[in-house]
Amino acid sequence: MLSAPRRIAREEWRFWRRSKLMLAASVVVVFLVITALITTTGRISSEQTQRREMQTIAEDTFKSQPARHPHRMVHYGHYVFRTPTPLAAIDPGVDAYAGTVMFLEGHRQNSAVFSPFYTAAQTPHLAQLTPARAYLLLLPLVLILAGYASVTRERAAHTDRMLLMSDLTPGAIVLGKVLAMLQLTGVLLIPLAGALIVLVVKGACPIASSILFIGFALYLAVWSLLTVAVSRFASNASRAVLVLLSLWVGLGLILPAASARLATTITPTHGKIETDLDVVSALKDKGDGHNANDPAFEKIRTNLLTQYNVETVEELPVNIRGIVAEAAEAEQAVIMSEFAEDHWSEERAQAVTARQLGWLSPALAMRAVSMIMVGTDIDQHHQFQRDAEASRLEFVQALNRLQAEGITYADDISRSNDRAAEKRTRVDASNWQRLRTFELKPPPVFARMGAAAPYFAMLTLWLIAVTVVLMRSARTLGHDHG
Amino acid sequence: MDDLKREAGLAWRDRTVRWSVLGLLVLSLLALGTGWADVAEQRTTLSELKARVDVERAAAIDGQSDAGGAAYYAFHLTYSPPSALAFAAQGVRDVLPYKHRMRMLALEGQIYETDSQNVELSSIGRLDFAFVVAVILPLFLILVLHDLRASEARAGRFTLLCATSPDGAALFWRRAAVRTLFLITVALVPFVVAALVSGAALPGIAVVIGVLIGHALLWLILSNWLASRIQHGATVLTVLLGLWLLSAVAVPAVGKQVVENAVALPNGGELLLLQRETVNAAWDRTKQETMDPFIKAHPQWADYAEVSRPFEWKWYYAFQWLGDDRAAALSTELREGVSQRHRLMGFVAWLSPTLLTERLMARAADTDIPAYQRYENCVRAFHTSLREFHYPMLFGAIEYSEAAMARLPDYAPCDS
């Protein structure tokens, strides 16, 4: 003998199986979910391959350069490509909007260019269908269609009283409806679980994947319970579906779109050009690293002369031009990075502001959980730029060091007029081999868990709130026939 | 007329209608208001930037003793100001750049720079009026219209109503039309007021009005037609929602996939690498190898092309040009591909009213892909005019002087 709630749940499934509408809706949505899974996985993996290939080409090109003056290589520069994390196939997040490639060169911090959006066929925003978006928006619709009449149906047919007159308690009836909805949620989560397993086999982090899965399960549970709760309170089925759909539109479409707007209003940021201009003025009196005689480097010169105990720069065992270039680059990098960090923290504050509406909309909370766990949120975009800058500074400074130690000052100053000297300033091509391979890694999973915790809290709170409402309402079931 | 008045009164007494009208009104005002604020902010930012870049440019030129240095250190602001209707449809302006700070170096290395907004916010999507009209308006119509017949049937009044109405079931068309009119009005009136205040041209306003009304009528006809064929209100609702999903999500999503597969595009990274290779290779090659192709394309400088010193500005700008020239084929292919994708999505739009509505509104607001490409062409034209201005001084046909530099081209947005 099954327990009472399980019998109710079984009846609910029987009802769904008989409903053509339910069948049609599920087929359509499952089709969309699977389409999203296939197309996104395909797109992300081809982006991964392409960007990785380009990264290899860029590195090989750099390493195969002929013997040159090191400073020429500073301006020759290097390219780094942002490769999406393995889990990005579930939620590409900012990937479509953020630049994918950055040119690294001396004295400048460039921005990442060529976002996939730049060349994409433009569609309404909703149609940028990804698995995450399908789970965020489409599956709640299935749950609403399945459950909006779950309680109102009994009431309309007056079967609630009959159920209550049998050995069933009101709690058992509502619990049964909830159980059925949760079972349905479980079924709907199967494609996601499958996709995650495939991705884990391909190298995605199992912990991050599990947490992502738990997040979506929590999120869909909120919608399941919410649906039963509304069905419990609504006077009839059409009122219930109206309320639920309004909630879906409000929480799923309008609040997220409004959150972006709200965030830009509350926490404005400075644009790239504005920041560039600020950097230019901050660097104005810092001296030109190409000119070792720039008065800004007077102190370096005196220090060097004292250190090596010589009278003139010509007598130094190192090439002062390289030393000055190195010092200037380091000083510039500090200033540029300060501005960049400021800009990023502004952007971060903006994103966090938008996510706060997750207290009002579980869709926004889940969106944040998903992007953070996958590693496609704004932080990852900043991390790419930070890693790129570290990589830039590393190779530029290595080249400056090479100029200081591998070339004599005498050759360096006469290379424009003296062909033999020019030849001697070309350092061996083997030096270019030292370029480090660039690889963007998602932050450690525990860091991601920490970052996602507040949004998990939002989801949990939603779940608790809906559960409490539902439990309190169950007690009065059958009393409201008037 | 009395009939309509009575229907309007009846409709207003319906709680769902009142809430929907109020909801749509609030959303329209919110979308228009924030769009308005956005555009105002864009204008302020542009004029501030323009002033700052101009000061910076004057200061940079001030210290220069030759044309090469002046061209190297002088940055210019290029931009595309928001149109008078941009507040209604943001289009691609929040992701694709509408302003650049550029100079006379190889353009392909500069034009893809984006001064974009917060990418995490871009990935949420924006609440603009086009979104309200294309995505939200049909949902409100569906909510209000799907149950008109079925609710009367449930109340047992359906047959009676049809029998006592002079034109039978046409009564329900009238009822639906009145409710649609309510919704159209609360979206349209705030828009028209905003558009008139912003000084938009009448044809543009007319397009948006036409699109809004057309889109609403489409859903009115669909809802009422389905309601007349299906008795159960919830079924009507589900089918309508399914159609909405098709239009807003499935058709454009599948269309996008098909179009992107059909039109392959060159990789942007490849273009950048090629451009950099060409520009840098010049340092390792003989001056002749740079100057020959340059002179071939610019025969007027043949007599001035002699490069005798290891570094001369004219040679430097010649290889900047060469970098662009070598990347031109890829760059053109990229732009044509993007434009081709946009054109093909136009066919998909005939199957998706949502997409069609968004496209038409973005076109009216001049915020779509073609508008972006016109801006890009405008930047390219300006870059050419910069080169044409500097070449005579670089090649020594004209002496570099303050007076000559006074005629330095100033960027002006192109007419759309």
DSSP notation for B291-351: HHHHHHH-GGGGGG----SS--HHHHHHHHHHHHHHHHHHHHHHHHHHHHHHHHHHHHHTT
Confidence of residue A481 (pLDDT cuts 50, 70, 90): very low
Does residue B67 or residue A295 have the better pLDDT? Answer: B67
| B78-134 pLDDT per residue, tens | 999 999 999 999 999 988 999 999 999 999 989 998 877 899 999 998 889 999 999
Between CA A203 and CA A206 the distance in angstroms is 8
Residues of A in contact with B101 (CB under 8 A): 273, 276-277
Chain A residue with minimum CA distance to B130: A124
If one counts every other C-beta atom within 10 angstroms of the C-beta of residue B76, the result is 21
Residues of A in contact with B49 (CB under 8 A): 271, 273-274, 277
Residues of A in contact with B237 (CB under 8 A): 241, 245
**pLDDT score at A254:** 92
**pLDDT score at A237:** 83
At residue A450, what is the residue type? G
Mean pLDDT along residues B237-265: 92
If one counts every other C-beta atom within 10 angstroms of the C-beta of residue A104, the result is 23
Instruction: Find, among B117, B181, B327, B392, the residue nearest to A267 by Cα.
Output: B117
Mean pLDDT along residues B219-233: 88
Between CA A269 and CA A378 the distance in angstroms is 14
Considering only the C-alpha atoms of chain A, give the largest distance between any 2 of them, rounded to a whole number of Å: 107
Instruction: Find, among B219, B207, B217, B213, the residue nearest to B188 by Cα.
Output: B213
**pLDDT score at A482:** 38
Between CA B120 and CA B127 the distance in angstroms is 15
Residues of B in contact with A27 (CB under 8 A): none
Q: Is A190 exposed, middle or buried (0-12, 13-18, 19+ CB in 10 A)?
A: exposed
Between CA A151 and CA A148 the distance in angstroms is 8
A96, A253, A274 ranked by CB distance to B135: nearest:
A253
Cβ–Cβ below 8 Å for B120 and A381: yes
**Residue B252 in this model has a pLDDT that exceeds 60:** yes
Cβ–Cβ below 8 Å for A115 and B116: yes
A124, A253, A417 ranked by CB distance to B358: nearest:
A124
Q: Is A283 exposed, middle or buried (0-12, 13-18, 19+ CB in 10 A)?
A: middle
Confidence of residue B281 (pLDDT cuts 50, 70, 90): confident
Cβ–Cβ below 8 Å for A103 and B284: no
Mean pLDDT along residues A416-443: 85
Percent of chain B whose predicted confidence (pLDDT) is above 90: 66
Chain B residue with minimum CA distance to A50: B267
Q: Is A212 exposed, middle or buried (0-12, 13-18, 19+ CB in 10 A)?
A: buried
Instruction: Find, among A153, A217, A186, A190, the residue nearest to A362 by Cα.
Output: A217
Q: What is the 3-state secondary structure (H, E, C) of A206-248?
A: HHHHHHHHHHHHHHHHHHHHHHHHHHHHCCCHHHHHHHHHHHH
Does residue A281 or residue A185 have the better pLDDT? Answer: A185
> In this structure, what are the phi and psi dihedrals at residue A426, rounded to the nearest 5 degrees?
-85, 110
Helices (H) and strands (E) in chain A, counts: 21, 3
CB pairs under 8 A between A and B: 257
Residues of A in contact with B248 (CB under 8 A): 124, 126-127
Confidence of residue B168 (pLDDT cuts 50, 70, 90): low
Confidence of residue B328 (pLDDT cuts 50, 70, 90): very high
Instruction: Find, among A347, A147, A404, the residue nearest to B116 by Cα.
Output: A347
Between CA B177 and CA A344 the distance in angstroms is 51
Asked if A131 contacts A89 with a C-beta cutoff of 8 angstroms, the reply is yes
Between CA A238 and CA A19 the distance in angstroms is 17
Mean pLDDT along residues B18-25: 93
Mean pLDDT of chain A: 89
Element (H, E) at B168: none
Residues of A in contact with B117 (CB under 8 A): 264, 269
Asked if A223 contacts A144 with a C-beta cutoff of 8 angstroms, the reply is yes
Weakest-pLDDT range from A63-67, A235-239, B265-269: A235-239
Element (H, E) at A78: strand A78-81
> pTM, whole model, 2 decimals?
0.92
B112, B119, B135 ranked by CB distance to A94: nearest:
B119
- SS3 for A299? helix
Tell me how far apart the terminal alpha carbons of chain B are, to the nearest angstrom: 45
Mean pLDDT along residues A202-229: 96
**pLDDT score at B12:** 85
Instruction: Find, among A223, A232, A247, the residue nearest to A152 by Cα.
Output: A232
In the DSSP assignment, the letter for residue A112 is: P
Confidence of residue A480 (pLDDT cuts 50, 70, 90): low
Chain A residue with minimum CA distance to B341: A121
Cβ–Cβ below 8 Å for B260 and A32: no
B115, B121, B136 ranked by CB distance to A354: nearest:
B121
**Residue B412 in this model has a pLDDT that exceeds 80:** yes
Between CA B189 and CA B25 the distance in angstroms is 9
> In this structure, what are the phi and psi dihedrals at residue A377, rounded to the nearest 5 degrees?
-90, -175
If one counts every other C-beta atom within 10 angstroms of the C-beta of residue A117, the result is 21
Helices (H) and strands (E) in chain B, counts: 18, 2
| A85-128 pLDDT per residue, tens | 889 999 999 988 999 999 999 988 888 888 888 888 888 888 88
Chain A residue with minimum CA distance to B76: A273
Tell me how far apart the terminal alpha carbons of chain A are, to the nearest angstrom: 34
Identity of the highest mean pLDDT range in A8-17, A74-83, A397-406, B212-221: B212-221
Chain B residue with minimum CA distance to A40: B257
| A125-165 pLDDT per residue, tens | 888 889 999 999 999 999 998 999 888 888 777 777 777 77
**CA–CA min distance A272, chain B (Å):** 5
- Joined together, the tokens standing for residue B242 give 């399914």
**pLDDT score at B15:** 84
DSSP notation for B215-268: HHHHHHHHHHHHHHH---HHHHHHHHHHHHHIIIIIHHHHHHHHHHHHS----H
| A311-359 pLDDT per residue, tens | 888 888 888 889 989 999 999 999 999 999 999 999 999 999 999 999 9
Residues of A in contact with B257 (CB under 8 A): 39
